[in-house]
Structure 1
Amino acid sequence: MFGIYLKRELSRRKKAALVIALGLALGIALVITVNSVSAGMTQAQDKVLKSLYGLGTDMTVTKAQAAPTDSESGRPRFEFDAGSDSDDTQSSDRVMTQGGQALKASLVTDVAKQTGVASAVGALSLNVTKVDGSFTQGTAESSDSGSAQGGPGGGQSTGQPRVQGGGANFDVNSYSVAGVDVTNLDLGPLATSKITTGKTFTTAQTNSKVAVVSASYAKENELTIAKTITISDTKYDIIGIATPDSSESTTDVYLPLKQAQTLADSADQVTTIYVTATDSKQIDTVKSTIQKNISGTTVTTSADLADTVSGSLSTASNLATSVGKWLSIAVLIAAFLVAALLTSSAVSRRVREFGTLKALGWPSRKVTRQVVGESIVNGLIGGALGIAIGLAAAYTVTAISPTLTAELGSTASAGGGGGRMGGGGPGAQQAASNTMDIALSAPVSLTTIALAAGLAIAGGLIAGAMGGWRASRMRPADALRSVQ
């Protein structure tokens, strides 16, 4: 009886039911769209952090760069032989550590022993400035000043000699080098890339003269497998080409850690320690432990790094998180209120019907159940429409894939300079900020679908509760008064 009556009443009031369902559908669709876009923003930010911070890295340990003394200079110096016959090409490399003050390699072991630390690996970030070219010697020529002047014999004077031609032609190339611990390649600068050509380092190559170069650097300098790259008169065999997983590479050349330490004359030193925690929920606790037990260091987590992400990605994320969510809540509340008011209004127009049913012996709870049942069906219809519209909107965003720009600014742990991650970690910064483009997607999770279904049922219950309460208060006499 209940089902038959429910079906008949919904068929009779198709337009009213459709209006209520559409109101709920719009609110639910907006909730789905905002949640899916927010999830896409989170994924995009994770890509930025993952590519720059290091796969599996929960935090990094660095030390701020000390201020140079009067006897020190941060400017590179180059010396060339400018002799009279110096027409041959000359080259000079200046290798400097970057990303902060060097740490003792023994600190890697100390960090690994801290409570809550699962693994720790050291890396050395270097910047190589290569200058090569040649000098061309000029020729001295004299010019006659004119005719003889006075005196016997008519002497002739000569003007000052002038240098013709000559000069210098030098090319300057700067690139980043990362020394990696070949015994643990799952952590550190090279963990953000995969080897697409050749092979990676082996544990036996801790001090071998081999190198892995990034795909972009290899393309720019026409480097391939089996070729060599020379740094400070040392040749390294290229064994692999590394392609970053989700962004442009911030490191051009990867060397075994010991070789990088030899180049920089930094034996048993590192600039960044990459750390993973045993429990991702205890990262803040581990950070505090390391800072307390290992003085003079700065610990930077991925959460700290996330605060420095700016650009259109950050702006869109803020809009989706704040404006979008508040807007969806406001629309959803409005949809619930409209559905409740429309249901209550519809009940008011059914005075004769409900009054007659009560005169025939229907108790108030049965009348209320009837109204609530109709409202829940309207809510489910609205939920189905809302889910369909929300999925279509999310699919459209994913299909269009708007491009957002992410800029990683400097963090508090940086030792001077801007925010590019020279060695793949937040402590290894260069003067310019690292900028990358991220394609936005809008993934819809099962949790979001379940939330939409719950909101649809909740909307139907709210509307049914208000309408049912109004219907339960009607009396058979109200039906008689409504008879014209």
Structure 2
Amino acid sequence: MFFIYLRRELRRRRKAALVVASGLALGIALVIVVSSVSAGMTRAQDTVLQSLYGLGTDMTVTKAAAPPGEGDTARRPRFEFGAKGDGDAEQSSDRVLVQGFQTLASSTVTEVGGQKGVAQAVGGLSLNVLKVNGQFKRGEFTPREGGARGGGPGGGTGGAGGEVTGGGAAFDVNSYSVYGTDVTVPALGPLTSSRITSGRTFKTTETDAAVAVADSAYAKEKDLAVGGTVTVSGTKFTVVGVATADSGDAAANLYIPLKRAQTLADSKDKVTTVYVRATGSQQIGSVKSAIQQNIAGTTVTTSADLADTVSGSLSTAAGLASNVGRWLSVAVLIAAFLVAGLLTSSAVSRRVREFGTLKALGWKSGRVTRQVVGEALVNGLLGGALGIALGVAGAYAVTAVSPTLTAQLGATGGGAGGGFARALGQGGPGRQGASKALDIALTAPVSLATIGLAVALAVGGGLIAGGFGGWRASRLRPADALRRVE
């Protein structure tokens, strides 16, 4: 009997059922699209942060920025060229500089690793290599005709006069970044955000070996290949692998063992960054507080801190999706639920004679209520199916178009992003963390959790609508059927 009435009422009241289902479908579709776009925003932000964070890294520890002006003289690189027999001979000089000029003692890694909630800590040294290459050219002396006379001290005469033409100096300045990574802990650090596309990564035994892994873009630019060599400040390194950054932006041009990097920079037992992995995501906040409290002179940066430095269209779109989009979805859902409830209640009021007669024939109020709720629930499920179809289609359209968003990483010295940009080579000598822009293609992935939420909303909408109608139906009396003439 239940399904007979259900099928009959859906046929009789097709327009009303379509209105209820369409309202619910619109709200559910909007929720799916907004949720999927928000998930895409989160994925895009993660991609941006991975360009600065190593995979598996929860936070980094760097030295607190020095006050402005302090140590500026020491930060100026000096290049000295000695005189040679052949004045036109080519001369070159390399300077290996610690990125950001801020270092921590290697013992800091052990201190950080001993804090409660820290699962693993590893150090790294970020370097910038400046290579000046060129030559001085002698000028040509052209004597003046007839000479020149001049009085020297005591009335003496000078030699013939003339002028010097040509000559000068022409030098090229080349800069590239080198990162010293702890090869004994390959699962943590900046190299983990890249994948080896040729050759191999470091072996754990190569702690002081003259081997290097080159970033793929730099290797292409300098024509480096696995098995070849690259010279850094007079030391030849064998290229054992080529890595491609997953985010499209590598942390450094070259990666070498930490101990070798310390030797090149004359920074024995020094690091610029300590990468930290917490025992769990819930401990990140407490670990950060413990490090700041127990280890003086350090700056702790988490992914949440770094996310605050992301601006541009990606940040704006993420804010709109999180705030305006979700509130709009809630408003549409509430309106759809209210409309569904009112229409169901109105339909019950038009069936007074029918329900009154059924009660006179022996139907209990609970049975009438269940009938109304069942009809509303079917309408909700139909609206849910339509809403899921529309929502998935909308999300697919966003993914197909893939609008490009720009993420601006504004990192300044001492700030949340500044320490990170310094650590990973995002600033040149004398500046602590330069801002950079990344273009990210937006996608809208639809997860099973989103589909489950849509089904729950469909069922919830049907139950709410049925609740309105069921409450109205439960108040009907058999005598009402005798007073109602249709």
Give the direction of change, closer, same or farther, for the CA distance of 1:142–1:456 in structure 2 (3 Å limit): same
Task: Describe the superposition over 1:65-107 as per-residue Cα deviations: whole angstroms up to 9, x where unpaired.
Answer: 3345578342222122466732222111121112452111122
Match of 2:224, SS state, is coil
One-letter code aligned to 1:465: G
Q: Give 1:249 deviation, angstroms.
A: 0.7
The residue that corresponds to 1:454 in the other structure is: 456
AA aligned opposite 2:34? V
Cα distance, 1:352 vs structure 2:
2.9
Q: Percent identity?
A: 66
Partners of 1:417 and 1:141 lie apart in 2 by: 56
Q: Aligned equivalents of 1:170 and 1:192: distance in 2?
A: 36
* 2:174 match: 173
Gap runs ≥5 in structure 2: 148-157
1: distance between equivalents of 2:453 and 2:72? 66
The answer to whether the 8 Å contact 1:418/1:433 transfers is no
Tell me the amino acid that sits aligned with residue 18 of structure 1. L
Distance 1:69 1:464 in 2: 72
Q: CA deviation at 1:415?
A: 10
1:457-476 to 2 correspondences below 5 Å: 457-476=459-478
Residue in 1 aligned with 2:278? 277
Whole-angstrom CA distance in 1 between matches of 2:64 and 2:71: 19
Counterpart in 1 of 2:153? none
CA shift, 1:177, in A, is 1.0
- Report if the CA contact (8 A) 2:272-2:423 is conserved: no
How far the C-alpha of 1:179 sits from its partner, in A, is: 0.7
The one-letter amino acid paired with 1:441 is: T
User: Which of 437, 441, 447 is residue 443 of structure 2 equivalent to?
Assistant: 441
Q: Which residue of 2 aligns with 1:250?
A: 251
Q: CA deviation at 1:409?
A: 2.2
1:267-323 superposed Cα distances (whole Å, 9 cap, x missing partner): 111111111112221111112222222222222111211221222221111111111
In 1, are the aligned partners of 2:99 and 2:425 still within 8 Å (CA)?
no
Matched residue of 1:53: which SS?
coil
Per the alignment, do residues 417 and 160 of structure 1 end up closer, same or farther by CA in structure 2, a change over 3 Å counting? Answer: farther
Where does 1:314-329 land on structure 2 (aligned, <5 Å)? 314-329=315-330
Distance in 2 of aligned mates of 1:166 and 1:51: 46
**Cα pair 1:117 1:275 within 8 Å, conserved:** yes
Measured in 2, the distance between the counterparts of 1:105 and 1:472 equals: 76
Per the alignment, do residues 333 and 424 of structure 1 end up closer, same or farther by CA in structure 2, a change over 3 Å counting? farther
User: Which region of structure 1 is more displaced relative to structure 2, 64-73 or 16-25?
Assistant: 64-73
Distance 1:241 1:353 in 2: 78
| 38-47 vs 17-26, greater mean Cα deviation | 38-47
> Quick one: structure 1 residues 205 and 28, their matched pair in 2 at CA, closer, same or farther if it must change by over 3 Å?
same
Q: How does 1:143-292 map to 2 (within 5 A)?
A: 143-144=144-145, 160-292=161-293
CA contact (8 A) 2:130 2:174 kept: yes
Q: 1:354 offset after TM fit, Å?
A: 2.5
CA distance, structure 2, for counterparts of residue 83 and residue 213 of structure 1 = 35
Rate the CA distance shift 1:223–1:414 in 2: closer, same or farther, 3 A: farther
Distance 2:418 2:252 in 1: 17
| CA displacement at 1:256 relative to structure 2 | 1.0
* Cα displacement (A) at 1:424: 6.8
Would you say how many aligned residue pairs link Structure 1 and Structure 2?
A: 475
- Match of 1:239, SS? strand
CA distance in 2: counterparts of 1:47 and 1:304, whole angstroms: 15
- Structure-2 change in CA distance of 1:25 and 1:138 (3 Å): same
Aligned mates of 1:219, 1:430 — CA distance in 2: 28
Contact 1:111 1:290 in 2 (8 A): yes
Separation (CA, whole Å) in 2 of partners of 1:62 and 1:418: 6
Q: CA RMSD in A?
A: 2.7
Match of 1:48 in 2: 48
Instruction: Quickly say closer, same or farther: Cα 1:357–1:145, change in 2 above 3 A.
Output: farther
Q: Secondary structure at the match of 2:86?
A: coil
Deviation of 1:170 (Å):
1.4
Counterparts of 1:5-44 in structure 2 under 5 Å? 5-44=5-44
Counterpart AA for 1:466: F
What one-letter code is carried by the residue in structure 2 that aligns with 1:275? V
Deviations 1:366-400 (A, max 9, x none): 22222111111100110111111111111222222
TM-score of the superposed pair, with normalisation by structure 2: 0.91
Which moved further from structure 2: 253-262 or 231-240? 231-240
In the aligned structure 1, how far is the partner of 2:362 from the partner of 2:476? 13
Relative to 1, partners in 2 of residues 1:418 and 1:182: Cα closer, same or farther, differing over 3 Å?
closer
Q: Partner of 2:183: helix, strand, or coil?
A: coil
> For structure 1, which segment, 411-420 or 374-383, has the greater mean C-alpha deviation from structure 2 after superposition?
411-420
Q: Is the 8 A contact 1:31 1:325 kept in 2?
A: yes
Deviation per residue, 1:417-444 (Å, 9 max, x gap): 7974552799x98442132222222222
- The worse-fitting range, judged by mean Cα deviation, of 182-191 and 96-105 is 96-105
1: CA distance between counterparts of 2:195 and 2:71?
44
Shift of 1:254: 0.9
**Structure 2 residue identity aligned to 1:31:** V
Aligned partners of 1:278, 1:448: CA distance in 2, in Å? 29
> SS of 2:333's equivalent?
helix
Provide closer, same or farther for how the CA distance between residues 419 and 111 of structure 1 changes in structure 2, counting only shifts above 3 A. Answer: closer
- Shift of the 415–352 alpha-carbon distance from structure 1 to 2, 3 Å rule, reads closer
- Range with bigger deviation, 317-326 or 134-143: 134-143
Determine helix, strand or coil for the equivalent of 2:75.
coil
CA distance in 1 between counterparts of 2:371 and 2:211 reads 79
Q: Is the 8 A contact 1:65 1:416 kept in 2?
A: no
After superposition, the C-alpha distances for 1:186-217 in whole angstroms (9 at most, x for unaligned) are 11121111221122221222112221111111
Find the residue that maps to 2:134 and give its secondary structure.
strand
Instruction: Give, in whole Å, the separation in 1 of the partners of 2:388 and 2:79.
Output: 66
Alpha-carbon distance in 1 for matches of 2:253, 2:453: 46
1:469 is matched by which residue type in structure 2? W
Aligned to 2:366: 365
In 2, the alpha carbon distance for the partners of 1:95 and 1:298 equals 24
Bigger drift between 115-124 and 63-72 goes to 63-72
CA distance in 2, matches of 1:69, 1:251: 27
Bigger mean CA deviation after superposition, 55-64 or 394-403: 394-403
Aligned match of 1:127: 128
Aligned to 1:152: none
